[in-house]
Amino acid sequence: MDNPDLAAIWVYLSTSPLLGLTITLVAYSMAHKLYVYARYNPAFNPVVTSVTGLISILLLTDTSYESYFEGAQFVHFLLGPATVALAIPLYQQISKLKRLWVSVLLSLTAGVAISSLCTVFIARLFGASLQTQLSLAPKSVTAPVAMGISEQIGGLPSLTAAVVVITGILGAVLGPKLFKLMRIQDDSIKGVAMGVSAHGIGTARAFQVSSEMGAFSGLAMALSALASALIVPWLLSAIGILQ
């Protein structure tokens, strides 16, 4: 950057939201091409490759996350309407849902409780600090909701956002293998398990399998977000982690 004109352009770009937004979209579209090229090999999950790429770029150019987020927030913002949009695939599965709703409610309530308790206990067992334990507790819940819960119970919302993404990727990668191992073939069952444990990233993976699996995953993700917001803070104070 010793050319003064280039330096001036860089200063302009690094303070405008345009750059952060554009590199996010470019990184994702390249990551998605790579994923298709790798024949949907889970190791090339586009969220992993684009996040890795973007972090490297930020580190190399010495850009702060705050200035990157100035632009990336426009993408992040869409999580809100996307959450509302889940009502539509859910509605399209209404006849199947009417038949299965008792099973779905039972399984996802158990799932929400087990997910947060297991996470906190394992993290505590291996010596994580209390604040880390609390930030990890809502890790299976969709990002905007998980961040809200984390803030409410005294975790770090931004750490929660990051572990939520990692959890989603883990679920999307492990899920299909686990279901094969358990010999589960029903797409509605796979969808619910995916949505409860791996929220939107799992749901995105589920939509690649079938629209039925996607709809149930979306349903389970939405209902477990609701259930987690109600249960998790209460559960953690019941077992004495929160005073």
Partner 1 sequence: MDFLNGITLLLIYQLVGEVSVLMLPIPIPGPVLGMVLLFLTLLAHGRSTASLESASTALLSHLSLLFVPAGVGLIVHFERIAQEWIAISLALVLSTGITMATVAAMMHIATRYLSGKT
Residues 127-166 that bind partner 1 (CB under 8 A): 127-129, 132, 136, 139-140, 143-145, 148, 152, 156, 158-159, 161-166
Closest CB to partner 1 among residues 10, 67: 67
9 binds partner 1 (CB under 8 A): no
Whole-angstrom distance, CA of residue 234 vs CA of residue 149:
11
Shortest approach of partner 1 to residue 96 CB, angstroms?
A: 10
Contacts of partner 1 in 17-46 (CB under 8 A) = 24-25, 27-28, 45-46
Nearest to 82 by CA among 207, 185, 188: 207
Q: Which residue has the tokens 């399209």?
A: 92
Q: Does position 79 bind partner 1 by CB under 8 A?
A: yes
Q: How far is the CB of 91 from partner 1 (least distance, A)?
A: 4
Count of residues touching partner 1 (by CB under 8 A): 110
CB of 58 to partner 1, least distance (A): 6
Q: Tell me if 102 contacts partner 1 by CB under 8 A.
A: yes
Read off the DSSP letter of residue 42: G
Q: Which stretch binds partner 1 (CB under 8 A): 7-15, 36-44, 178-186, 235-243?
A: 178-186
**What single string gives the DSSP state of each residue in 43-94?**
GG-HHHHHHHHHHHHHHHTT--HHHHHHHHHHHHHTHHHHHHHTHHHHHHTH
Question: Should residue 94 be labelled a site residue for partner 1 when binding is judged by CB under 8 A?
Answer: yes
Q: Tell me the C-alpha to C-alpha distance, in Å, between residue 70 and each of 13, 14, 22, 73, 209.
A: 12, 10, 11, 6, 34
CA distance 217 to 172: 11
